Amino acid sequence: MTEGAATSIEARVEAIYRTESRRVLATLIRLLGDFDRAEEALHEAFRSALEQWPRDGVPANPRTWLVSVGRFKGIDTMRRLKRFDALDDHTAEAASVHMEPWEDDSVEDDRLRLIFTCCHPALAPDAQIALTLREVCGLTTEEIASAFLTPAPTLAQRIVRAKAKIRDAKIPYEVPARDELPERLDAVLRVIYLVFSEGYAASAGASLIRTDLTGEAVRLGRLLVELLPEPEAIGLLALMLLNEARRPARTSADGDVILLEDQDRSSWNRAMIEEGAALVERALRSRRFGPYTLQAAIAAVHGEAREASQTDWTQIVGLYDLLQRVAPSPVVELNRAVAIAMRDGAGAGLALIDAILGRGELTDYHLAHSARADLLRRLGRTDEARDAYQRALTLTRQEPERRFLERRLRELH
């Protein structure tokens, strides 16, 4: 075999690793019953591929080949080490290994099993996130650590502990049954949205070297919709796409916050907005939608307005009404108040915000005070506006937010 051909097979193995390794891993976890064993077997299988494919050619179905080889390697290791495994702790069951034929058509289910296991409620939220990025997305420990500004050893520990918990608590490798599904799906959606939010909040300034978390979250969202097209999964994907579409416009070159109404809408990603809006429609038609879909619907209304002045505030208020009914919270109420201010005038919005603060809610939430300040400014109540901006300033911890509030304060004079 010529060197060129060998190199091209190596390139093919690499390409197959990128597209198939997570699927192969998900199935190996089911067949071998353990994350670590499956990972080792996955690497063994790819090592064999690098040895054998240049000689024998790439098999017709590389994924099946990789699962079979990985499984054999994993099982041979297990049965020969069972004396020692039995000494570690568990595993009367691991000591007896049965090679049942495996079904290629349950492979897509394996990917869902993997997602639900990584997001199992018995795991702490930060463990769910780390494990999902490691096992489902295939990010390295170092990549995840740098994305979350966590020392790599801490993150590695977190993953090790999560896997031990899965093993010790005997968390089953399965897609939850119908009756459990809504609750378990919520946990998965929360993990994906946390990954997205972490990337989205970090998208300014010095964070450019951080792994593209929003991209990973969108990929996860797409995978979930492909495997389990539940309305809220569709709604979450839509919400992420609609937010991601506006990302280039939401900060200036210096990392300063640019408000929605001041953004250059021509820099919004139209294709993403259209895809997001279509997904919102699909989720809404199901009539089983929830908070993610409603937030996406609100983002879609903004996305469809070519100018800030063309925003359909009546529709947005209506969507906030619905959101407040399915997922009531003071933050939703605050956002609704801002939408009312846009529809009915600053005074109407201000009364609602004052009512929330008057109940003792959101008093330490900087956005409540900056929204209130903004309405006071528009009403010409400059002194009160100044006080409110200053209150917001003492509460915010983010540098771009602080600069934004200071700018607003200077403009008051």
Q: Give the footprint of another protein on this chain (CB under 8 A).
A: 44, 48, 72-73, 76-77, 79-84, 87, 95-96, 99
What does DSSP assign to residue 338? H
Category of 173 on φ-ψ map: left (φ > 0), alpha (ψ -120 to 50) or beta: beta
Helix (H, G, I), strand (E, B), or coil: what is residue 257?
strand
Phi, psi (degrees; rounded to nearest 5) at 104 = -70, -25
**CB 52, min distance to another protein, A:** 9
Cβ closest to another protein, residue 9 vs residue 69: 69
Cβ closest to another protein, residue 77 vs residue 251: 77
**CB 31, min distance to another protein, A:** 16
Strands (E), 120-273: none
CA distance 45 to 43: 5
Q: DSSP letters of 93-134?
A: HHHS-------GGGHHHHHHHHHHHHT-TTS-HHHHHHHIII
Category of 246 on φ-ψ map: left (φ > 0), alpha (ψ -120 to 50) or beta: alpha
**CB 61, min distance to another protein, A:** 18
CA distance 117 to 97: 22
Cβ closest to another protein, residue 97 vs residue 379: 97
Cβ closest to another protein, residue 41 vs residue 234: 41
**Structure tokens that stand for 114 in this block:** 């993997």
CA distance 361 to 270: 37
CA 306 to chain centre: 28
Cβ closest to another protein, residue 98 vs residue 178: 98
**CB 84, min distance to another protein, A:** 4
**CB 81, min distance to another protein, A:** 6
Cβ closest to another protein, residue 83 vs residue 413: 83
Cβ closest to another protein, residue 76 vs residue 262: 76
**CB 107, min distance to another protein, A:** 22
**CB 36, min distance to another protein, A:** 14
Check: CB of residue 45 under 8 Å from CB of residue 75.
no
